[in-house]
Amino acid sequence: MKPPTRLLNRNYFLLWQGQTVSRLGSQAFNVALIFWVKHATDSATLLGLILMVSTLPGVILGPLGGAIADRFSRRKIIVLSDVLNGLAILALTALLFTMPDATNLILAGLFLVSLINSVLRSFFEPAIVAAIPDLVPKARVHQANSLGQTTQQLTLFIGQGLGGTFYRLFGAPILFLFDGISYLFSALSESFIQIPQEIPDRAPDWRGLFRQFRDDIVEGFRYVWRRKGMRELVFVSALMNFFQVPVIVLLPFYVEEHLQSPPDWYGFILAAYGLGSMGGYVLAGMLNLTPRRRAHFMMLFLAMESLGIAALGLVGVPWQALVLAFLGGIMGGFVVVNLTTILQITTPGVIRGRVFGLLGTIAGGLTPIAMGMSGIVADLLNQNIPLIYVGSGLISGSLAGLIALNRDYRRFLAYEAPPEETSPTANLPEDHAPEGVQAEAPMTTPLDSELEEPIPPVPTGQ
């Protein structure tokens, strides 16, 4: 394939189109799931457990999913994941239509579908993130991330903003049906994509394949561990996620019990955050900041977003919560686009999948535990949601302030890409380039001086 010369080329557009539709369906499904469980059981504990199940397998399997994204066709992984997700959700939809009063059976189905979705997502997401830098010009990667994240938040704005109203008007089965169909449409769109990828030779037997996956995962871990700044970022992100997860898990209770508002306001608050995030994504794509100034804004916004969570626990009027959610979305969106771009352009293509899989596992490792504990703690505190919000915000804000004092972390956020474009095999020794591809001379960047020791050669199965 010829290198892409424009952002909205055919391949990237097909991927963007499919993801837009499936994300819209997913948000409608999430709203329906949350309120169906709440109204059917009125248990914060059970809701937290379902959300934990929907996250835990993906966290555990992240490194394996990343290794598979580097060794197998990323296009096939993306398409197959959407097909299987769509079929699983359509099966659950049929259960709700035919046996609407079988509460226990439907709960079991929700657990199973959540589990399937989480497992597939552990393979799907590393493949997507690893593919994007190869679908657009290197100089447009940050704009591709900005467009993708902006669209994702637009679907959040529509799907979650109207999801509460649609749930009240149509019920869970219709929203589940829409989600299942959206996954199949996404798979159809993605099946026409061409993703440039150097696929290493496979081992002749299962034992050799297992060794390859083991070595790939180990190399991904060593790559992350030996990059100062990236390592600190990942671990502090895991802690911040742990203390911010209760905000989402307990939001239905916050809306109905604390704000004394109907389910519609659950969607409105999420939509406000999504609209703010869109603004943050667009802002990140438009602003031409110096690396140092960009890093300063990222650190400031991380701390301010956390303190905004604490402020949610202190307000009691719905429109005030909307404003806080909107401002938090702007700051969070700006950070996400810039951080994703930095991680993508500092990671060679042949190892990008496993690195992002590992980053997702480490950064999200505590998230399932936080989801499970959120409901339990809320019930133990007699569902005192404002107290939980204030505590979560203050702790995560303190973590953001402390990590900002770390010099390596600040240098990593201030990374500046070299002006010339390089191939995915740059930074790799010549004798470890994929077959048929000659490695370029190693590129020296500011990050190279931050390594505690040289990064070992990345195995390609040659």
Q: For residue 246, what pLDDT is reported?
A: 84
Expressed as residue numbers, the domain containing 404 is 10-195+204-418+442-450
Residue 330 lies in a domain: yes
Distance between CA atoms of 34 and 47, rounded to whole angstroms? 7
**Is the separation of the CB atoms in 65 and 123 below 8 Å?**
yes
Token pair in block for residue 175: 């929203």
Instruction: Residue 107: give its domain's CATH number.
Output: 1.20.1250.20
Strand (E) or helix (H) holding 205? none
**Is the separation of the CB atoms in 35 and 252 below 8 Å?**
yes
Token pair in block for residue 192: 């026409």
Q: For residue 363, what pLDDT is reported?
A: 66
Residues 6+ apart with CB under 8 A from 239: 366, 396, 399
Other residues' Cβ atoms within 10 Å of the Cβ of residue 318: 15
**Is the separation of the CB atoms in 28 and 166 below 8 Å?**
yes
Residue 435 lies in a domain: no
Q: For residue 202, what pLDDT is reported?
A: 64
Positive/negative CA dihedral, 69, 434, 358, 160: negative
Residue 331 lies in a domain: yes
Residue 4 lies in a domain: no
Question: How many domains would you assign to the chain?
Answer: 1
Residue 458 lies in a domain: no
Residue 348 lies in a domain: yes
**Is the separation of the CB atoms in 183 and 22 below 8 Å?**
yes
Average pLDDT, 10 consecutive residues per value, the chain (462 residues): 76 87 83 80 74 72 76 88 93 89 85 87 84 80 77 71 72 86 91 79 63 73 79 80 83 84 79 82 79 86 89 88 90 85 75 73 71 79 86 88 84 70 39 35 33 32 32
Other residues' Cβ atoms within 10 Å of the Cβ of residue 292: 12
Distance between CA atoms of 137 and 144, rounded to whole angstroms? 9
Q: For residue 208, what pLDDT is reported?
A: 66
**Is the separation of the CB atoms in 32 and 172 below 8 Å?**
yes
Residue 434 lies in a domain: no
Residue 191 lies in a domain: yes
Q: For residue 87, what pLDDT is reported?
A: 94
